[in-house]
Chain A
Amino acid sequence: MSNVRQSWYEAGARERIAALVDAASFAEFIGPERREISPHLSIFDLPAQFDDGIVVGAAAIDGTPVLVAAQEGRFMGGAFGEVHGAKLTGLLRAAKALGRDVVIAFDTGGVRLQEANAGEIAIAEIMRAVAEARMAGARVVGLIGGRAGCYGGGGLIAGCCSTLIVSEQGRISVSGPEVIETNKGVEEFDSRDRGFVWRTMGGKHRTLIGGADVFVDDDATAFREAARAALARPAGLDAAMLSAEQARLERRIARFGDAPDATDIWRGLGIADPQAIPDMPAAGFADLAAQYRESADDAR
């Protein structure tokens, strides 16, 4: 690791893994030399990539073995196709078998439409594998702060993780801004209003309502440190935890179900000047969030 600050947002999948894990500890599974490309993109005359947009393997963090995956948001928007999804499914099944923690760097628009049915089932298989790994005692830590955000089925997988670490750029949502606008009109959702999109789906809002657990700066070192801390938290997924999540999500609707805008929710949380949140530097925001945010500890 160098002292030069590395932007998580700008980094590629392999750079993110290199920044996360101990030096020279990463061993990739089904690497690009195997050329396991999508069998479907050629139908659309689209170029394939030798890793199908996701890098998975084994590594160590502080000497402790972990499994790690990173999506490449620059290839097909990090979307889940058949091969891409199966690599993550296999890794999570290994986590269950070995009782080993997993770190996933999400960067995805969701299902890859050119292989939509395969991608959709892959999401369902991954969610099941995440839940089963957690029930077997493994932690599944999600990192979100890439170009593509974490949309569609990616948002649902993220919601199954033990801990979510986000930066301001880490947008988490199901329907993307353009999809809502296309289907429901610009009055419902103006996808070009960047400020609106980010305060509705961005990392700060998700942190404040409990949709994400840890807020970090757009800095690879900060993501690594937060991942280390998350891997030290209690593991598991059981009825008590999901009952707590049920209560947490019911409470959110009761408190904020009529809020027209994120700033109204932030004010409702007790933040005196919610308009200042979007421009707040990461450290200051994290301090403020720690004081006012809804926590999802042991309730995710």
Chain B
Amino acid sequence: MTPAEILDSLFPAGHAVTSEGDLLFGRATLGDGMVHVIGATGGAPIGIDQAIRLSARVLEVAGSDDAAPLLFLVDTASQRMSRRDELLGLSEYLAHLAKTLLLAEAQGHRTIGLLYGGSAAGAFIATALACGTLVALPGAHPEVMDLPSMARVTKLPIELLEEKAKATPVFAPGLDNLVRVGGIAEVWDVGRSLGDQLTALLAHSRSGDDRATVGAARGGRPKAAAIADEILATAQR
């Protein structure tokens, strides 16, 4: 689906979302309420110039007292890999974007990431994974690193990686794998109204970061939740 099709299905009552290059900014009507919308689209990489514009808007949302949710449409490449971006401190810009999303959430705005295309590595962490709840559409294709690059870095043959990817969700790219490790809460049904599915999601309040617990229940991350919980309990003794 294109961003326009997604927005139409999400917000049949109307939306005023405009694109600026590969970024989206605006708001929409959902039921009796309003939803802030931002987007990083077009499968484009996220560099300092994109991150700083997104964070500026998220800060405005965080500062507004409407308590309206923020929906973040995501279809990106990885972080922008360039000399200029790293020279100017891309890690700070991506961390800042993530912090603004976490601040908005702490100030009472639900943050919902909607992954409808690709996203990878640092861009994935600073956008979709920094939202309070992350959902995806079928066909979304998140990844940490593509298998050919992974083969180069790990010095393992790609055939071996492809073989092992069948046995475990823990390393290979793909939506199903990210669902199983708990990174994506749910995959929506494009045969139904996306607006109804968003409304249903917003009707359930969220308490804490449950991704490790979900990942354990889905068999993708057997240990993370138990270890984090034990350390939290031990430190409080």
Which one of A13-21, A175-183, A271-279 contacts B?
A175-183
Asked if residues A131 and B230 are in contact (CB atoms below 8 Å), the reply is: no
Contact partner, A125, options B49, B87, B170, B209, Cβ 8 Å: B209
* Shortest distance from the beta carbon of A208 to any chain B beta carbon, whole Å: 11
Check: A226 CB closer than 8 A to any chain B CB. no
Select one of B87, B122, B232 contacting A200, CB under 8 A.
B87
Q: Is A118 within 8 A of B129, CB to CB?
A: no
Q: Are A253 and B88 in contact (CB under 8 A)?
A: yes
B residues 159-175 touching A (CB-CB < 8 Å): 164, 167-172
Residues of A within 8 A of B39 (CB): none
Q: Does B228 contact A (CB under 8 A)?
A: yes
* In contact, B215 and A121 (Cβ under 8 angstroms): yes
Find residues 81-101 in chain B having any chain A CB closer than 8 Å to their own CB: 81-96, 98-100
Residue numbers in B under 8 Å from A123 (CB-CB)? 125, 129
Cross-chain contact B59 with A159 (CB below 8 angstroms): no
A219 at interface by CB-CB < 8 Å: no
Report if B156 contacts A (CB, 8 A).
Answer: yes
Are A243 and B236 touching (Cβ within 8 A)?
Answer: no
- Assess whether A32 is interfacial by the CB under 8 Å rule: no
B125-A175 in contact (CB<8A)? no
Determine which of A94, A118, A135, A175 lies in contact with B181 in the assembled complex, contact meaning CB atoms within 8 Å.
Answer: A118
Q: From A40, A115, A259, give the contact of B87 (CB < 8 A).
A: A259
B149 in contact (CB, < 8 A): yes
CB-defined interface of A28-49 with B at 8 Å, one 1/0 digit per residue? 0110000010011001100000
Within 107-146 of A, Cβ neighbours of B (below 8 Å) are at 111, 113-125, 127-129, 131-132, 135
Determine, out of A4-12, A85-93, A282-290, the stretch whose residues face the partner at the interface.
A85-93
Smallest CB-CB separation from A243: which chain B residue?
A: B59
Q: Are A239 and B62 CB-contacts (below 8 A) given A89-B212, A90-B232, A98-B236?
A: yes
Question: What is the number of contacts between chain A and chain B, taking CB atoms within 8 Å?
Answer: 276
Nearest chain B residue, comparing its CB with the CB of A40? B170
CB of A293 within 8 Å of the partner chain: no
B103, A237: Cβ atoms closer than 8 Å: yes
Most buried by A among B96, B172, B222, B231: B231
A247 smallest CB distance to B (angstroms)? 10
A165 contacts B by Cβ under 8 Å: no
Other-chain residue from A89, A128, A158 in contact with B102 (beta carbon distance below 8 A): A128
Q: B residues within 8 A CB of A211?
A: 89, 91-92
Which residues of B approach A to under 8 Å, CB–CB?
48-49, 52, 55-56, 59, 62-63, 78-79, 81-96, 98-100, 102-103, 106-107, 121-122, 124-126, 129-130, 144-145, 149-150, 152-154, 156, 164, 167-172, 177-178, 181-183, 209, 211-212, 215, 220-225, 227-232, 234-236
What are 29 A-B contacts with C-beta separation under 8 Å? Answer: A43-B170, A58-B235, A83-B223, A90-B228, A90-B232, A94-B236, A113-B171, A117-B144, A117-B177, A118-B215, A124-B130, A127-B95, A127-B125, A153-B125, A160-B95, A172-B89, A173-B90, A182-B149, A200-B83, A211-B91, A242-B96, A242-B99, A242-B103, A246-B96, A250-B56, A253-B52, A259-B87, A262-B87, A265-B87
Other than the given A113-B144, A131-B99, 18 more pairs (CB < 8 A) read: A58-B235, A89-B224, A90-B230, A94-B231, A114-B170, A118-B170, A118-B220, A120-B144, A121-B182, A123-B129, A127-B125, A131-B106, A152-B121, A211-B91, A249-B48, A249-B52, A257-B84, A265-B87
